[in-house]
Amino acid sequence: MTPPTAPTPAEAPAPPRQTRRHFLRNLAAGLALPTVGLAYVVQVEPFWPQFHELAMPVKNLPPAFEGLRIAHLTDLHVSNAVPVGYIRAVVAEVNRLRPDICFVTGDLVTRHEGWIDEACDAVAGIAAPTYISLGNHDYGQLTYKGRIIDVANEIQQRLTAAGQTVLRNTAVPLRRGTDRLWIMGLEDIWSGRFSPAQAFASIDPAVPVIALSHNPDTAASLDSYGASWTLAGHTHGGQIRVPGYGALLLPVQDKSLQQGLHAFPRSQLYISRGVGFLARARIFCRPEVPIFTMTRAITGS
């Protein structure tokens, strides 16, 4: 049997004619995709915090602290860009999760924008006992509500009056019965006041130390002084992350210190992506509030 022959160009069916309606529909779909993507980057992910549970194994942890739950907030950046209502909602969720204590590691505000009262009031709403260190945006002088203030001192005075503990190169013991551990807060390294020597001067080095230090570039120094854990922020995780590459922009010297858990010779560092932001954009980098549960680290024989 003779096989069928292919149609000649004259016999081939003509491609379907694109109507004006089809053209406009395809154009709308093509324009909608980047619009939806941009809306997600600036409207959804920056306000979609992840609350997740993590273990915090601590060497020589006193038995009374086994199971202690700690919420870690950082980089609130209450400002024209980060609504205080969003921060209050995050605090409300933290309160619902009922941690035993809470740590806040700086950048409550964004430099020169004010919003100090609102930021401090939001942090004062944390129900658990709260310990605070300062970040690079929490320093400097500012004309605020008709008077010149030192931002760091103003934050410290307001939060201390609210019953919270602001630590500036100091450490305080956390006690449960006869057991204790140290909670230490450092001044921010960019302030020029960072002094682990001062902070460690009056503590018992045999007792575990949890250090609150805004900038993760300080973790190596704190490890050498004897911190058990350092909790930091500052990087925001980069805010814009590329799969397979990581953060495009990081305000740290050690570019490996982007987010999450890092091991040092004697200690652990956790870098939170933070709650707020500077530029209002996040992609593959949701805000976060880690909730740690202390456990006794298992040491090798």
How many domains would you assign to the chain? 1
In a domain, 3, yes or no: no
Percent pLDDT > 70 in the chain is 87
What is the structure's pLDDT at 105?
98
Is 2 domain-assigned? no
For residue 28, name the pLDDT band (cuts at 50, 70, 90): very low
Whether residue 221 is predicted with pLDDT greater than 50 in this model: the reply is: yes
pLDDT(101) > 80:
yes
Average pLDDT over residues 143-172: 97
Residue 229: CATH number of its domain = 3.60.21.10
Buried b (16+ CB within 10 A) or exposed e, 180-219: bbbbbbbbbbbbeebebeebbeebeeebbbbbbbbbbbbb
- Distance between CA 293 and CA 97 in Å, rounded? 12
Does 22 or 274 have the greater pLDDT score? 274
Distance CA 30, CA 145 (A): 48
- Please give the pLDDT value at position 37: 73
- Which tens digits make up the pLDDT trace of 32-61? 456 657 889 999 999 999 999 999 999 999
Residue closest to 198 by CA, chosen among 207, 211, 217, 208: 211
Which residue, 197, 189, 239, is CA-closest to 213? 189
pTM for the model stands at 0.88
DSSP codes, 108-135: -B-TTS--HHHHHHHHHT--S-EEEE--
The pLDDT of residue 92 is 98
Judge whether 4 lies within some domain. Answer: no
Q: What confidence score (pLDDT) does residue 262 get?
A: 98
Question: What's the rounded Cα separation, in Å, for the pair 32 and 10?
Answer: 39
Contact in structure between 69 and 293 (CB atoms under 8 Å): yes
The letter for the amino acid at 250 is L
Task: Measure the CA–CA gap between 140 and 194, rounded to whole angstroms.
Answer: 15
Answer yes or no: is 13 within a domain. Answer: no
Confidence class of residue 24 from pLDDT cuts 50, 70 and 90?
Answer: very low
Domain interval for residue 57: 21-296
Report pLDDT for 38.
84
pLDDT at 9 over 50: no
pLDDT at 19: 64
Band the pLDDT of 299: cuts 50, 70, 90. Answer: confident
**pLDDT band at residue 261 under the 50/70/90 scheme:** very high
Express each pLDDT in 107-126 by its tens digit: 999 999 999 999 999 999 99
Domain assignment of residue 6, yes or no:
no
227 occurs within a structural domain: yes
In a domain, 152, yes or no: yes
Whole-angstrom distance, CA of residue 197 vs CA of residue 267: 17
Q: Would residue 240 count as lying in a domain?
A: yes
- Angstrom CA distances, 135 to 76, 99, 144, 195, stand at 10, 23, 19, 14
- Asked if the model's pLDDT at residue 258 lies above 50, the reply is yes
